[in-house]
Amino acid sequence: MQSFSEPRRSLDTAQPSIRHIQELIRHSTPVVIQVLNCQEDFEGVISWQDSFYIALSEADDRPLTLINRDTITVIRALV
């Protein structure tokens, strides 16, 4: 939980990377996400993003996977 003394981190939609991720979300583009210090790649469709996390839907029958934005090294479209 964020304390009142911490500065609030907002999602800067003027940034090209944020706009690109929004396009991936809008078009339900399948992606692969690579994360620091993790041998496994995550594949799925990005459901949403906020200042701290990206939510990845890996399969219809599984809950969303939340990936910390600070740990992501690569997001690549699979199309």
**CATH number assigned to the domain with residue range 28-77, chosen from the 4 options 2.30.30.100, 3.40.50.2000, 3.40.47.10, 3.40.50.970:** 2.30.30.100
Q: What is the pLDDT of residue 79?
A: 85
The CA-atom distances, in angstroms, between 79 and each of 31, 32, 38, 43, 74 are 8, 10, 23, 12, 15
Ordered by start, the domain boundaries in the chain are 28-77
As a whole number, the mean pLDDT across the chain is 91
Q: Say how many C-beta atoms besides its own lie within 10 A of residue 38's C-beta.
A: 12
pTM listed for this prediction: 0.85
pLDDT at 5 over 80: no
> What's the average model confidence in pLDDT over 29-56?
96
